[in-house]
């Protein structure tokens, strides 16, 4: 490959592009919406947040409560379930550290589990082996928009009296067996950070039919002040109140919600573009011996990221080559059981093998089909060298 580098140097200067791995995609509508909030001089949690929650509730056909990040959504969902010190939550190790941090923030212990090698989602059979009397929750992570066998996870939870908190940060707009993620099940938590399928700059949401959980989340996001949400939506505040639980300053503000409302209007266009890009990648990469694609059904996925497995090549060298020809790549993720804060003696051989193969290619609505063609051409050139 080093010889390939040398021979390509002259061409690179002529044809090099700059293709970002991911990016926020916003327009004049979002800018105007934010300007309107600024002009109103009410920047905190108010009517824009109320409208965003209303719109999300219509989207999911279930109640949605907004917070300031997806991590906060997971944290508050777990806290509302009463998860705390001495409890355990089953979760795949190969996920962003936010999943683990949300669990440990309650005082509970995240129990790292294996992944299914095809979908990079929770291996339920491995999770069953790690079940103890302290297990309270199972947290499936919808990696790259895939859900794996979600029915099996819910069956496992039901058999063992566990609650399910879906980390759906990657899965906004995705479907499972024809049902929109978040429209069914126990509790689903979403992220609206800058590069997700829709963004509110930062932000997250908890979606569930459990009214008790929703009310606890509403109070906890406002420092535990009871029933302060209605006051905020009216542009007021509670002055004579009670607090009966640990709360956090996790509420969403009007600036974030204003962006989110405009993004939600654009989501059908964003979703179609992401699906189109994913199918173009599949067209180029599906039958390559040196690459394995995730076991996801493109018809049900709105891809937040596009991940491949490199079966025969050094990932660092491939990344270096692609960077040289103007293509950013990423690695989703370093497994949490290898992080100092969560390190233990657990052995996860499948996770360790697969995590070293994963490579994330560019995916966002501003990407063009021509960009994908270029990316795949350069990737193939790299892999045959």
Domain end: 198, 230, 262, which one? 262
Element (H, E) at 88: strand 88-92
For 281, phi and psi rounded to 5 degrees?
-60, -45
Helices in 195-325 by DSSP H: which ranges?
211-220, 229-233, 254-285, 315-324
For 221, phi and psi rounded to 5 degrees?
-70, -15
- Between CA 298 and CA 307 the distance in angstroms is 13
Domain end: 215, 234, 262, which one? 262
Q: In terms of domains, do 59 and 129 share one?
A: yes
Q: In terms of domains, do 233 and 341 share one?
A: no
Q: In terms of domains, do 86 and 145 share one?
A: yes
- Between CA 279 and CA 268 the distance in angstroms is 17
Let me know the angle formed at the C-alpha of 46 by 83 and 191, rounded to the nearest 5 degrees: 45
- Between CA 93 and CA 111 the distance in angstroms is 8
Question: Burial level of 10, CB count in 10 A (0-12/13-18/19+)?
Answer: exposed
Name the maximum alpha-carbon separation found in the chain: 73
- Between CA 26 and CA 28 the distance in angstroms is 7
- Between CA 274 and CA 292 the distance in angstroms is 20
pLDDT per residue rounded down to tens, the chain (385 residues): 434 433 444 444 445 689 999 999 999 999 999 999 999 999 999 999 999 999 999 999 999 999 999 999 999 999 999 999 999 999 999 999 999 999 999 999 999 999 999 999 999 999 999 999 999 999 999 999 999 999 999 999 999 999 999 999 999 999 999 999 999 999 999 999 999 999 999 999 999 999 999 999 999 999 999 989 988 998 888 899 999 999 999 999 999 999 999 999 999 999 999 999 999 999 999 999 999 999 998 889 999 999 999 998 899 999 999 999 999 999 999 999 999 999 988 999 999 999 999 999 999 999 999 999 999 999 999 998 7
Please check whether residue 231 is in contact with residue 237, taking contact to mean a CB–CB distance below 8 angstroms: yes
Q: Is the pTM of this model over 0.85?
A: yes
Domain end: 239, 262, 285, which one? 262
Q: In terms of domains, do 152 and 250 share one?
A: yes
Q: List, in order, residues 6 or more apart from 364 with CB less than 8 Å away.
A: 20, 22, 23, 25, 195, 274
Q: What is the CATH number of the domain that holds 219?
A: 3.40.640.10
State how far the alpha carbon of 370 is from the alpha carbons of 13, 19, 245, 308, 377, in Å.
Answer: 19, 11, 53, 19, 10
Q: In terms of domains, do 369 and 252 share one?
A: no
For 97, phi and psi rounded to 5 degrees?
-60, -20
pLDDT at residue 14, as a whole number: 43
Number of domains in the chain: 2
Q: In terms of domains, do 235 and 183 share one?
A: yes
Range(s) of the domain holding residue 62: 28-262
Q: List, in order, residues 6 or more apart from 179 with CB less than 8 Å away.
A: none
For 360, phi and psi rounded to 5 degrees?
-100, 125
């Amino acid at each position: 490959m080093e010889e390939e580098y040398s021979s390509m140097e002259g061409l690179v200067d002529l044809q090099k592009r700059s293709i970002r791995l991911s990016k926020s995609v916003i327009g004049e509508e979002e800018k105007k919406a934010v300007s309107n909030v600024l002009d109103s001089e009410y920047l905190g949690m108010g009517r824009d947040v109320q409208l965003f929650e209303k719109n999300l509730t219509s989207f999911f056909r279930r109640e949605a409560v907004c917070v300031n990040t997806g991590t906060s959504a997971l944290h508050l969902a777990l806290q509302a379930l009463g998860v705390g010190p001495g409890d355990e939550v089953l979760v795949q190790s190969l996920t962003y550290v936010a999943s683990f941090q949300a669990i440990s923030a309650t005082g509970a212990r995240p129990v790292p589990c294996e992944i299914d090698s095809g979908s990079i989602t929770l291996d339920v059979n491995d999770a069953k082996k790690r079940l103890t009397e302290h297990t309270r929750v199972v947290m499936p992570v919808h990696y790259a928009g895939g859900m794996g066998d979600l029915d099996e996870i819910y069956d496992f939870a039901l058999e063992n009296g566990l609650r399910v908190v879906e980390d759906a940060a990657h899965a906004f707009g995705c479907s499972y067996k024809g049902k929109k993620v978040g429209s069914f099940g126990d509790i689903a938590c979403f992220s609206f950070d800058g590069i997700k399928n829709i963004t509110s700059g930062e932000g997250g949401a908890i979606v569930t039919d459990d009214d008790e959980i929703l009310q606890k989340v509403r109070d906890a996001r406002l420092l535990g002040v009871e029933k302060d949400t209605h006051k905020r939506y009216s542009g007021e505040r509670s002055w004579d109140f009670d607090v009966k639980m640990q709360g956090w300053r996790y509420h969403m503000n009007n600036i974030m919600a204003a962006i989110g409302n405009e993004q939600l209007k654009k989501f059908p266009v964003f979703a179609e573009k992401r699906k189109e890009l994913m199918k173009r990648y599949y067209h180029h990469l599906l039958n390559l011996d040196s690459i394995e694609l995730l076991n996801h059904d493109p018809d049900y996925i709105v891809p937040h990221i596009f991940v491949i497995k490199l079966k025969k090549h050094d990932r660092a060298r491939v990344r270096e080559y692609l960077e040289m020809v103007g293509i950013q790549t990423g690695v989703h993720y370093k497994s949490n059981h290898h992080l100092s804060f969560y390190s233990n003696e657990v052995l996860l051989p499948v996770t360790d093998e697969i995590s070293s193969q994963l490579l994330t290619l560019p995916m966002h609505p501003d990407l063009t089909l021509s960009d994908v063609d270029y990316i795949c051409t350069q990737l193939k050139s790299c892999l045959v060298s």
